[in-house]
Chains A and B, each alone.
Chain A
Amino acid sequence: MTQPLLSVENLSTWFHTSSGVARSVDGVSFAIGAGETLGIVGESGCGKSVTALSILRLIQPPGRIEAGSRIMFEGKDIVTLDDKGMRGIRGNRISMIFQEPMSALNPVFTVGDQVAEVARVHGNGSRQDAWNRAVEMLSLTGIPSPEERAKQYPHQLSGGMRQRVLIAMALMMTPALIIADEPTTALDVTIQAQILELLVELQNRLGTSILMITHDLGVIAETASRVVVMYGGEVVEEAEVKTLFAGAHHPYTEGLMNAMPQITASRGRLNVIPGTVPSPTEWPSGCRFRDRCSYAWERCEREHPPLYQISGSHTSRCHLAVEPERRAHPHLPLVEQANATV
């Protein structure tokens, strides 16, 4: 593989709270190539958003990026950059699109001002140049009559329009990487389709890399080329999108896919993953998914599974990789056994 654009190596972001250390991100590694879309998928509390915030160094105390973590981007280690160096990257080389466009925009400034601000902070052109560029970007994101829209306030725009404004803002400095954290979760499905199409189209045109963070496997399937599945603060599986959807290896990924209601599937009972995500202050020993797993055996409690190589670039954090015969013997997961005894 050629030099990746961004490589996250052994990233740990822990929150040192009064009720214990929450190991929200715990030894995460992945890389994104230039022009590539990498998806991170997982449920609430899996650490996907904290990973994104760590890349932009937006972690507030009691959170901390732990020693031994490296985030290499364009030859620099983001973890050790000073504030000035970080300001040169944030919003300039790496920008972010947040989930909730209403709370990400300032209600008392016009959207044009807010988009132009990016160029005023990072560029050296005049106010007028920044404004013109903002209008150009708004137009690029498909906002009709951008000159007029730029003079409006966030509350005058619909949810879809606001999300386009955020995308325009993210694109202002033509960054090398855009981190999109659930960019369509708050939107209606027809608007989501518009925004996803826009992102893919802009990426083709501008060659930007995208880190797409979502809980929706459908969004991943349609936008990403490679996927990282996170659970319990760790990467549990990584593969090319086609490989993953053709045959997930990790029981969690498998469970997630089966639990998802599919519009193409016939009506019927859904498969469930029993139990809930454990708390980041007390991950289970060994495999963090073992309580909810229908294959777990004693090794899973004793030994924390490494990322095994399944094939090519497909990896999975599950001992089934070395004891595949166990897959033939599913049983009731521990959480269900515990419930049954009550």
Chain B
Amino acid sequence: MTTATNRPPADASDSPPGTPLESARSLVSVRNLRKVFPITRGILGRKVGEVRAVHEVSFEIAEGQTLSLVGESGCGKTTTGRAILRLIEPTSGEVRFAGKDILAMGPAELRAIRRQMQIIFQDPVSSLNPRMTVGAAIREGIAIHRLAEGAAADAKVGKLLDEVGLRREYASRYPHEFSGGQRQRIGIARALAVEPRFIVCDEPVSALDVSVQAQVINLLRDLQKERRLTYLFIAHDLSVVKHMSDHVAVMYLGKIVEQAPAEDLYREPLMPYTQALLSAVPVADPTVVKQRIILEGDVPSPASPPSGCVFHPRCHHPARDAACSKINPPLEEKAPGHFAACIKQVPTTVSWEEQLKAGGVNPPERYLPVVEQLSRH
């Protein structure tokens, strides 16, 4: 069992950095990660505002496990993944990999640690150099990190191609000669070439057809088992996420709004946004009668996020009231290991007195609209 390891602090935004909560088995630990992009205007680049792409994000991933970040476009999931690898410099926060502070590292140290931290991109077409043979692309990392040379490196490339289900002779071909699924396998082989322990998978199957998508999902799972890999899996497709994850964190407007073991989250989503997200997924079964929650409007601009709970303008919780627009909901433990940010979902640490003071009129109540539909299967 994997309790305790993926728990964020009871109140991520308030806890001081460095709270000793990571267990010995957690490989990646992220605390209060923030990334702010400035909005500039004019030739002088005058700053006229800022976008809070990632706001106070905290999570941990135990070795050999998968944490998925899900959310819709612009929720900050990709920025989070890149900030952890420092492909984008985070504004503040803490990222620890195997106990080492990634954000404090100099260039040389960072290059060395990146051998253990790799990324697989969504679009295998644009992430492969069209002028490099597949073999050369895979060899690049091996050479940079001096893992093997000459015939030994060739043998390693051959073995990697085997492992991802491609023929060895493909090493001398170019990316354009392959289909989307094969290119994604090449991307995986390239990430594996340096023998990483941790891989950020950024929408790795979104661009693939259903039948090929299943092949790649199975491959990622097999590799995880064989090599004891740790994944941060970034995706918008909740069905794919369900098949991949041990833990799931749902993001909305740069914040984690719910986080739980995968089974718990899908069985009993507590945050109204997660409920809407799950109920919106089309189910390939015409006999299922759905009680779908249709959200009004669009996601607000991250440049001017709503006050209080970022989801309150679109929320369908029956107890939603003025307090939701005033109080910043803490990501709190609603059930063992199950964290959600909603002051109207019981239990909550935000007292009724506090809510009254903020203009609240509806006491918190238990609200689980999609549970019935999903549990019928």
Contact = CB atoms under 8 A, between A and B. Distances in A.
A190 B295 contact: yes
Interface residues of A, number: 50
B45 interface: no
A189 B209 contact: no
Contacts of A3: none
Contacts of A43: 209-212
Chain B: number of interface residues, binned into ranges: 35 or more
B156 interface: no
A261 B280 contact: no
B165 to A, nearest CB: 8
B209 A270 contact: no
Interface in B234-254: 236-240, 242-243, 245
A193 interface: yes
A260 B277 contact: no
Contacts of A267: 242-243, 245, 262-263
B210 A259 contact: yes
Contacts of A191: 72, 298
Nearest to A194: B294
Contact of A259 (B213, B288, B376): B213
A242 B286 contact: yes
Contact of A276 (B181, B277, B297): B181
A250 to B, nearest CB: 13
A242 B286 CA distance: 6
Interface of A: 43-44, 144, 158-161, 188-194, 196-197, 215-222, 241-242, 245-246, 255-257, 259-265, 267-274, 276-277, 339, 342
Given A43-B209, A245-B285, A259-B210, A339 B295 contact: no
B38 to A, nearest CB: 21
Interface in B266-292: 266, 276-288, 292
A196 B127 CA distance: 33
Given A194-B294, A245-B284, A276-B179, A259 B211 contact: yes
Contact of B211 (A221, A242, A246, A255): A255
Contacts of A265: 242, 377
Contact of A272 (B215, B239, B280, B294): B215
Q: Which 3 A-B pairs have the closest CB atoms?
A: A218-B282, A188-B72, A273-B211
B249 to A, nearest CB: 17
Nearest to A264: B377
B167 interface: yes
Contacts of A215: 209-210
Q: Which of B266, B277, B283, B376 is most buried by chain A, counting CB atoms within 10 A of its CB?
A: B283
B217 A261 contact: yes
